[in-house]
Amino acid sequence: MPQRYFIENQNNIITGQDAHHIKKVMRMKTGDEIIVCYSGKCFLSILNLETEEVKYDIVQELIKHDQPEITLIQGLPKNPKSDIVIKYATIFGASKIILAGMHRSITKLDNEDNKIKRFQMIAKEAAELAHRFEVPTIEMKKSLDKIDLSLYDIVLLADENERSTTLEKALPKIQKEMKIALIIGPEGGISEAERISLLSKKVIPVTLGHYILPTEIASLYILTYLSVKNI
């Protein structure tokens, strides 16, 4: 499978770290195939390295399968667990990742611009690894109250107090045009005040089974379910 690269715009030239990776790490040659992605589209392309610049020619557009837009709202975990959340939520199909401060979050929001820049790089590398068509956007919010949950068709809350509502009951049918949000608490879960507030907004609490999952991987249970249901 050709190596995949996400670029800012289509000008038939690859620059920066991606160019270095092609020439110095992968040691590619003129005529080698790569996949170039931008603006939610991906193209099989052929490299042209006859000059110092890394150029490519598009061969054909790849087919993208429609799927629901899935936003992960992750309670801000202790470092370096945020890196794990970003990497694997990207690999498992999240369209957007929001790291939110919650009552039981130990880590506090600071130096947000630099962190988001680093998180976006982690997401880019993970999206290339997973052969996705786009890199999820990353945001940081100081609290759940700063997130407009009305933007979503359905909002699920992974709740250790819930015993009967499974993902199958909460999502009996998944439509490709749906916008779905998943809320995962930090270490220790959500507080009772947060639970009451979310339930008042018609958020659906769901069980993730008999065991308590670590916060940094809990979303993968739901993302895997949604991926399988969408096949």
Q: Is the peptide bond before 80 cis (omega within 30 degrees of 0)?
A: yes
Question: Rounded to whole angstroms, how far apart are CA atoms 90 and 226?
Answer: 14
Residues 108 and 171 in one domain: yes
Residues 120 and 215 in one domain: yes
pTM: 0.93
Residues 101 and 215 in one domain: yes
Digit-coded pLDDT (tens) for 74-98: 999 998 999 999 999 999 999 999 9
Residues 122 and 189 in one domain: yes
Residues 93 and 199 in one domain: yes
Digit-coded pLDDT (tens) for 129-181: 999 999 999 999 999 999 999 999 999 999 999 999 999 999 888 888 899 99
Residues 89 and 202 in one domain: yes
Digit-coded pLDDT (tens) for 205-222: 999 998 889 999 999 999
Give the range of the structural domain holding residue 206, as residue numbers without chain letter: 69-229
Q: Which of 43, 61, 79 is the last residue of a domain?
A: 61
Residues 17 and 43 in one domain: yes
Contact 92, 220 (CB under 8 A): yes
Residues 188 and 128 in one domain: yes
Residues 117 and 217 in one domain: yes
> CATH number, domain at 197?
3.40.1280.10
Residues 128 and 99 in one domain: yes
Residues 122 and 188 in one domain: yes
> CATH number, domain at 11?
2.40.240.20
Query: In the structure, what pLDDT confidence band is assigned to residue 231 with cuts at 50, 70 and 90?
Result: low
Residues 76 and 163 in one domain: yes
